[in-house]
Amino acid sequence: MKTTEHFEVRIAKRGIRREWCERVFHDPIQVVEQENGYFRMWGFVAEEGKYLRIVLLEDRETFETAHWDRRYKELPT
């Protein structure tokens, strides 16, 4: 798992576990490419009952940041 220093600081501050980020990375419920080439991915963390958004750099493998996304709405099935 490749990460930036910013990612490491943010997940520690926000109480987000690395394994949750890896889970979202491997099984996202939605992926969006941003205009700057970064990628946003969302996943649901059942243990916390919240949606987690991770952001990856252009290489789509380096974690830039992660945070809880209170505004995320699950896609209709």
| 33 Cβ contact partners less than 8 Å away, ≥ 6 residues apart | 39
Q: Does residue 74 carry a pLDDT above 80?
A: no
Q: Is residue 75 part of a domain?
A: no
Please give the model's pTM, rounded to 2 decimal places. Answer: 0.90
pLDDT at position 37 is 97
Q: Give domain status of residue 10, yes or no.
A: yes
In a domain, residue 37? The reply is yes
Say if 12 falls within a structural domain.
yes
Domain membership flag for residue 40: yes
C-alpha to C-alpha distance for 43 and 39, rounded to whole angstroms: 13
Helix, strand or coil, per DSSP, at residue 6: helix
Angle at 75 between CA 42 and CA 50, to 5 degrees: 45
Give the residue, 44 or 77, on which the prediction is more confident.
44
Contact 66, 39 (CB under 8 A): no
What are the pLDDT digits (tens) for 8-58? 999 999 999 999 999 999 999 999 999 999 999 999 999 999 999 999 999
